[in-house]
């Protein structure tokens, strides 16, 4: 069941989403050869806290298995939800950043994948196809359509361009 939000609640959600987008932008400005994923995590956390919010991912979970970081960083073959650590970015890596914010009880969440320096042409094609499929899905996010319409547009786009979708561990809801 979907719970409709008031205009005031939507205003706060937008503020949190804007903060998440700006924090992601700050991280992307710092992606370079040699930086560790833990350093990227600290940049994100500092930015979020400086702007009056808390990292949405940090502390998520139960008891002793709570997530200890502010972002997820996945490199190359890591599909999703990589844990920040001492690993340094290298030339040719592709890096996915997932970040969430909690601003006054309202959540923002965004993610993107970028390259570090020059990458293999096949990897560049993957990035282009995933970006194209994202916008095909967004085109189908209209009143009256269902989640399956969006998913179908994404999968159809990806498969026509000779790639495939990962079905496990992805999506929000």
- Please check whether residue 108 lies inside any domain of the structure: yes
- Please check whether residue 93 lies inside any domain of the structure: yes
* Same structural domain, 14 and 87: yes
Domain range enclosing 129: 120-167
* Same structural domain, 137 and 99: no
- Which pairing describes strands 106-115 and 94-103: parallel, antiparallel, or unpaired? antiparallel
CB contact burial 135-157 (16+ within 10 A = b; e otherwise): ebbeebeeeeeeeeebeebbbeb
Reported in sequence order, the residue ranges of 15-117 that DSSP labels E, i.e. its strands, are: 54-55, 71-75, 94-103, 106-115
| Confidence (pTM) | 0.90
Query: Is the separation of the CB atoms in 85 and 75 below 8 Å?
Result: no
Structural element, H or E, at residue 119: none
> pLDDT of 122-153, one tens digit each?
999 999 999 999 999 999 999 999 999 999 99
> pLDDT of 14-58, one tens digit each?
999 999 999 999 999 999 999 999 999 999 999 999 999 999 999
Residue 173 pLDDT > 60, yes or no?
no
* Same structural domain, 45 and 106: yes
CATH code of the domain containing 51: 3.90.230.10
> pLDDT of 67-120, one tens digit each?
999 999 999 999 888 999 999 999 999 999 999 999 999 999 999 999 999 999
Write down the pLDDT at residue 94. Answer: 97
- Please check whether residue 152 lies inside any domain of the structure: yes
Which tokens belong to 70? 């502010």
- Please check whether residue 173 lies inside any domain of the structure: no
- Please check whether residue 2 lies inside any domain of the structure: no
The count of domains in the chain is 2
Dihedral of the CA atoms 84, 99, 122, 130 (nearest 10)?
160
Tokens 């006054």 sit on residue: 104
Q: Where are the alpha helices (DSSP H) in the chain?
A: 7-30, 37-50, 121-139, 147-160
- Cα–Cα distance list, 126 to 22, 76, 164 (Å): 25, 11, 10
* Same structural domain, 78 and 147: no
DSSP assignments along 90-112, one per residue: -TT-EEEEEEEEEETTEEEEEEE
* Same structural domain, 82 and 158: no
* Same structural domain, 48 and 131: no
Would you tell me how many other CB atoms lie within 10 Å of the CB of residue 166? 9
């Amino acid at each position: 069941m979907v719970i409709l939000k008031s205009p005031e609640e939507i205003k706060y959600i937008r503020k949190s989403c804007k903060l998440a987008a700006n924090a992601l932008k700050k991280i992307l400005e710092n992606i370079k050869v040699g930086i560790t994923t833990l350093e990227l995590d600290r940049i994100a956390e500092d930015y979020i806290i400086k702007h009056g919010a808390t990292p949405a991912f940090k502390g998520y979970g139960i008891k002793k298995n709570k997530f200890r970081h502010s972002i997820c960083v996945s490199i190359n073959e890591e599909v999703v939800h990589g844990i920040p650590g001492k690993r340094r970015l290298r030339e040719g890596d592709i890096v996915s950043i997932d970040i969430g914010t909690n601003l006054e009880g309202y959540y923002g969440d965004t993610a993107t994948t970028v390259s570090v320096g020059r990458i293999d042409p096949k990897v560049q094609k993957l990035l282009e196809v995933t970006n194209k499929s994202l916008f095909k899905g967004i085109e189908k996010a209209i009143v009256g359509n269902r989640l399956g319409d969006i998913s179908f547009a994404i999968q159809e786009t990806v498969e026509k361009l000779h790639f495939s979708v990962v079905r496990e561990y992805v999506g929000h809801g």
